Amino acid sequence: MAADDKVDVISKKETKEKDKKKEKKEKSDKKDKKDKKEKDKDKKRSDTEGVHKDKKDKKKDKKDKEKLARALEAHLAAKKNEETALVHKTDSDDESEETVQIAGNLVPFALPLADAKTHKKIYKLIKKGAKLKAISRGVKECEKTIKKCPPKPVSAGQTEAPGVVVIAGDISPIDVITHFPILCEEHGVPYVFVKSRAELGMAACTKRATSVVMLKTECKKLASDNKTDKKPEEDAEDLKATQAEYLDGLKELVKIAQKEWEVQVQPWVKGIHPLQIEEKQKQSGMS
């Protein structure tokens, strides 16, 4: 019996050892499978996300991106400055006009000033005049055209005039256009102010804002000059109709400009404007 007990004990020990080895093997197998899965995941991630980069490469890429961003910002800022400078330039060749900018308010002598309805008429008429080559643009060109007109004062009720001068009132510095009212009055040319220099340039079909535009009675582009088009007869008729509309509109604008001059400017010239009378009364009261 004792011998049998010993055999049983030995067999039990062997069984336990076998079970332990089996458990160890199972654990090691599980661990190997887990490691294999993780390796497969890392491999897939590297395939989808790209090759792994070390810290030096990452720093270099970051610097390159920052450099590119700074260069792009500088380029956009330079482009913006160029566009702003282009808007602020005038269409004259005069160097003094290169520094002209659009002012926030109108100049104090912007009289006579066209109303909203007349503004629309003026811009439409300028577009027609540009098509017929019947306008002068810019300070230098308008000065030459006005000086060619014979000197004569603006008289009340005068309808025959060599044209109309349209001046933008939102100019800075004001010295660019200060002399135009006096120059126009000396040569008997009616004039009128508009509010926007940018809109005046657009109406005159220029890429830049315009300080002054003169609408003339002479049209350089005549119906008889249109010979190179495919349908000369139809185009000649359209051009002739445009000329007639332009000249009629110009006559109407001359009347409006003269009437507004009498209402808005003449009282200042005669010294009978309400503000002038009020100032005189204050001065007399103080004395």
Q: Using one digit for the tens of pLDDT, what is the confidence trace for 115-130?
A: 999 999 999 999 999 9
Q: Lowest-pLDDT range, 24-28, 158-162, 189-193?
A: 158-162
The model's confidence at residue 194, banded by pLDDT at 50, 70 and 90, is very high
- Cα–Cα distance between 22 and 12 in angstroms, integer? 15
Q: Using one digit for the tens of pLDDT, what is the confidence trace for 81-109?
A: 555 544 444 444 443 343 344 445 899 99
Which of 151 and 22 is assigned the larger pLDDT?
151
50: left (phi over 0), alpha (psi -120 to 50) or beta: left
- Give the pLDDT confidence score for residue 97 in this predicted structure: 40
- Give the pLDDT confidence score for residue 2 in this predicted structure: 54
Q: Using one digit for the tens of pLDDT, what is the confidence trace for 4-32?
A: 555 566 676 677 777 777 787 787 777 77
Return the top range by mean pLDDT from 56-65, 199-208, 275-284. 199-208
- Cα–Cα distance between 220 and 132 in angstroms, integer? 7
Which of 214 and 35 is assigned the larger pLDDT?
214
- Give the pLDDT confidence score for residue 70 in this predicted structure: 74
Q: Using one digit for the tens of pLDDT, what is the confidence trace for 65-83?
A: 777 777 767 766 765 555 5
- Give the pLDDT confidence score for residue 42 in this predicted structure: 63
Q: Using one digit for the tens of pLDDT, what is the confidence trace for 215-269?
A: 999 887 764 455 544 455 557 788 888 899 999 999 999 999 999 999 999 888 8
Domains of the chain by start residue, with CATH = 116-216+237-271 (3.30.1330.30)
Short-list 144, 137, 130, CA closest to 167 = 137
- Give the pLDDT confidence score for residue 260 in this predicted structure: 93
Q: Lowest-pLDDT range, 45-49, 130-134, 271-275?
A: 45-49
- Give the pLDDT confidence score for residue 89 in this predicted structure: 45
